[in-house]
């Protein structure tokens, strides 16, 4: 049996949740509404996050373009995804939505550009 | 002198939304003036996600959110000038701008929207003792250096202040391989959004020490460490609570200040609490035809609310250009009391108000199980239960025009928290 303390972020109340995992059985206490229970369960069983960062742009009007994972990825994969983002370099121009890293760290999720970066002026 | 119906000072989220709304209300002779080399303002460096949940019902990053509004400006072919700084605005709405192509140019405006945003409270305003070594940055400066220019600003980091930018930078620097040792907050509560505390600090095991501050900065050429001490209820350091943290970088996230130098030059009267202009329900300042919106008016937590507020400022500026000044027959004053630090707007033109007027405010402390109560000249007209309110989360309340039917001559509207 494992117990974890979390702060619920579903609303400004910020309830302190205690989530207990006993095999298949997940119980949430400390929540004051049903959304807190759902949040607590997901955070303990399958937490996910969107990762945002920047990549090097070659020949661009800016040195960097901002990027994000196209959807949430498992929380445990954040640093692996970051390594692939750090290794990436893209030539200008970059457009919002361009795929920068395919299937980042085997998550099945692409890293895509979130900023337009034009070519540097001659 | 050159003339434009509407000049918008600032091409960030507030200026862009104001321009689009003014255009859609029929203004065709308008101009956005922006000092940076692209539109979008601070959103360009806010590469994290969480923007747009209210406006677009999806979660966008800052640059993506900015681009949605930039596209609206481009579609409407609204003119804008980049790398252009406004040096002066006169009470007669003469705008003096400067850039390297045209030099100094004066333009007369039918109406002006102030949308200059805010800036960070710098070290000099905090009274931090110690030398002035390299390695001390405001969180927003570090954010720009990292996210736009691509520089890593440090390896071992201490952050003073738990404002949202500081929290966001704690995660950002961690993701890039830095060790963020602690976030110290002078107040007994954080000034940041709860979701940022959880997703930027808790996720990475970064401790947040409330009621703590930096009492010494060590190092002469580069920061070598800081001393952090606990503070008492008087916010003064408690002797004997000193702790040394070695670090090469100190980030400051200690509050944002509306940037109102130009407003002052225009003769706009400023509010002591918000640091922004006093406005009426059309977001018009004390100077006729000069409107304000976004972080120059009061510092917001969410850009969605900036866009909404700025759209109203733009539409109201358009109405001013078309119809001239509003009739000012019965104007009530709004005041915050009992834990409500301020309200925006500060004046309400009851005869001419919209069907619904949104009043935004912040509270002075974390309060639980209170009632938000509204009085019209001392008569209670509304009582709403609030389970929790906190200084870091802006609150709002909607006043209906119909609620004044029985109170047509109200002079004072009071918003307060009661048990």
Residue A14, pLDDT above cutoff 80: no
Q: What is the pLDDT of residue A121?
A: 85
Angstrom distance (rounded) from CA B201 to CA B162: 10
Q: What is the pLDDT of residue A23?
A: 84
Query: Which one has a higher pLDDT value, B130 or A101?
Result: A101
**Nearest Cα residue to B260 out of B224, B299, B225, B229:** B299
Average pLDDT over residues B79-99: 97
Q: Give me the residue from A12, A53, A116 closest to B175, CB to CB.
A: A53
pLDDT band at A35 (very low <50, low <70, confident <90, very high): confident
| pLDDT per residue as tens digits for the range B169-207 | 999 999 999 999 999 999 998 888 888 999 999 999 999
Q: What is the pLDDT of residue B408?
A: 85
Q: What is the pLDDT of residue A12?
A: 64
pLDDT band at B127 (very low <50, low <70, confident <90, very high): confident
Instruction: List CB contacts (< 8 A) between A63 and chain B.
Output: 148-150
Angstrom distance (rounded) from CA B355 to CA B300: 24
Q: Give me the residue from B47, B67, B389 closest to A54, CB to CB.
A: B47
Within chain A, how many helices (H) and strands (E) appear?
2, 10
Angstrom distance (rounded) from CA B4 to CA B141: 34
Give me the domains of chain B, ranges plus CATH numbers.
1-119+256-325 (3.50.50.60), 122-254 (3.50.50.60), 327-419 (2.60.40)
For B296, residues 6+ apart whose C-beta sits below 8 A from its C-beta are B10, B14, B114, B115, B116, B117, B118, B258, B259, B260, B263, B276, B277
Which tokens in the block code for residue B25? 């209300």
Q: What is the pLDDT of residue A9?
A: 82
A9 vs B: CB within 8 A: yes
Tokens 């960097």 — which residue? A64
Residue B94, pLDDT above cutoff 70: yes
pLDDT band at B130 (very low <50, low <70, confident <90, very high): confident
Residues B47, A66: C-beta atoms closer than 8 Å: yes
Answer yes or no: are the C-beta atoms of A104 and A84 closer than 8 Å.
yes
Residue B96, pLDDT above cutoff 90: yes
A17 vs B: CB within 8 A: no
Which one of B46, B150, B179, B301 would you mutate to disrupt binding with A, by most A Cβ within 10 Å of its Cβ?
B150
Q: What is the pLDDT of residue B192?
A: 85
Average pLDDT over residues B367-395: 92
Instruction: List CB contacts (< 8 A) between B63 and chain A.
Output: 66, 96, 114-115
For B2, residues 6+ apart whose C-beta sits below 8 A from its C-beta are B105, B106, B107, B108
Average pLDDT over residues A58-81: 95
Residues A52, B63: C-beta atoms closer than 8 Å: no
Answer yes or no: are the C-beta atoms of B230 and B212 closer than 8 Å.
yes
Which pTM was predicted?
Answer: 0.93
Instruction: List CB contacts (< 8 A) between B67 and chain A.
Output: 96, 115-116
pLDDT band at B18 (very low <50, low <70, confident <90, very high): very high
Domain spanning A52-113 has what CATH number? Answer: 3.10.530.10
For chain B, give the mean pLDDT: 95
Query: Which one has a higher pLDDT value, B391 or B86?
Result: B86
| Ranges for all domains in chain A classified under CATH 3.10.530.10 | 52-113
pLDDT band at B145 (very low <50, low <70, confident <90, very high): very high
Residues B150, A56: C-beta atoms closer than 8 Å: yes
Average pLDDT over residues B127-137: 91
Residue A32, pLDDT above cutoff 90: no
| pLDDT per residue as tens digits for the range B43-88 | 999 999 989 988 888 889 999 999 999 999 999 999 999 999 999 9
| pLDDT per residue as tens digits for the range B270-302 | 999 999 999 999 999 999 999 999 999 999 988
């Amino acid at each position: 049996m494992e117990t974890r303390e979390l702060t619920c972020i579903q609303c400004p109340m910020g309830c302190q949740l205690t989530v207990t995992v006993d095999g298949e059985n997940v119980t949430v206490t400390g929540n004051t509404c049903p959304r807190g229970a759902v949040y607590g369960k997901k955070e303990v069983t399958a937490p996910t996050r969107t990762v945002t960062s920047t990549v090097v742009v070659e020949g661009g009007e800016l040195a960097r373009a901002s990027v994000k994972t196209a959807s949430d990825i498992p929380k445990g994969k954040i640093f692996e995804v970051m390594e692939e983002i750090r290794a990436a370099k893209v030539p200008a121009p970059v457009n919002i939505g361009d795929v920068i890293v395919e299937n980042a760290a085997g998550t099945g999720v692409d890293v895509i550009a979130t900023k337009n970066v034009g070519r540097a002026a001659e | 002198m050159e003339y434009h119906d509407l000049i918008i000072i600032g091409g960030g989220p507030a200026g862009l939304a104001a321009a689009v709304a003014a255009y859609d209300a029929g203004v065709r002779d308008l101009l956005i003036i922006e000092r940076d080399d692209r539109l979008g303002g601070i959103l360009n460096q806010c590469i994290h996600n969480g923007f747009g949940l209210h406006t677009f019902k999806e979660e966008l990053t800052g640059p993506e959110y900015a681009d949605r509004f930039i596209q609206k400006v481009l579609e409407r072919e609204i003119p804008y000038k980049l790398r252009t700084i406004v040096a002066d605005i006169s009470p007669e709405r003469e705008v003096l701008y400067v850039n390297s192509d045209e030099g100094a140019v004066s333009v007369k405006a039918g109406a002006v929207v102030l949308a200059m945003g805010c800036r960070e409270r710098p070290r000099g305003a905090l009274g931090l003792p110690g030398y002035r070594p390299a390695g001390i940055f405001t969180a927003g400066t570090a954010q720009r250096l990292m996210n736009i220019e691509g520089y890593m600003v440090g390896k071992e980091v201490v952050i003073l202040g738990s404002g949202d930018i500081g929290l966001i930078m704690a995660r950002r620097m961690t993701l890039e391989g830095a060790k963020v040792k602690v976030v110290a907050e002078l107040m007994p509560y954080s000034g940041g959004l709860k979701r940022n505390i959880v997703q930027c600090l808790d996720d990475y095991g970064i401790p947040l020490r409330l009621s703590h501050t930096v009492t010494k900065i060590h190092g002469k050429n580069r920061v070598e460490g800081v001393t952090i001490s606990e503070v008492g209820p008087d916010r003064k350091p408690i002797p004997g609570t000193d702790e040394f943290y070695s670090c090469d970088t100190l980030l400051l996230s200690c509050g944002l200040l509306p940037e109102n130098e130009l407003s002052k030059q225009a003769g706009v009267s400023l509010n002591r609490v918000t640091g922004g202009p006093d406005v009426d329900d059309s977001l018009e300042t004390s100077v006729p035809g000069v409107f304000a919106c976004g972080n120059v008016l009061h510092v917001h937590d969410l850009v969605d609310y900036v866009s909404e507020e700025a759209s109203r400022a733009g539409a109201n500026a358009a109405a001013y250009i078309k119809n001239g000044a509003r009739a000012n027959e019965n104007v009530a004053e709004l005041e915050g009391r009992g834990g409500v630090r301020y309200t925006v707007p500060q004046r309400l033109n009851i005869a001419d108000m919209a069907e619904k007027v949104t009043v935004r405010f912040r509270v002075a402390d974390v309060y639980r199980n209170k009632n938000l109560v509204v009085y019209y000249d001392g008569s209670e007209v509304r009582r709403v239960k609030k389970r929790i309110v906190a200084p870091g989360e802006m609150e709002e309340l909607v006043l209906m025009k119909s609620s004044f039917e029985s109170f047509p001559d109200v002079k004072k509207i009071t918003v307060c928290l009661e048990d």
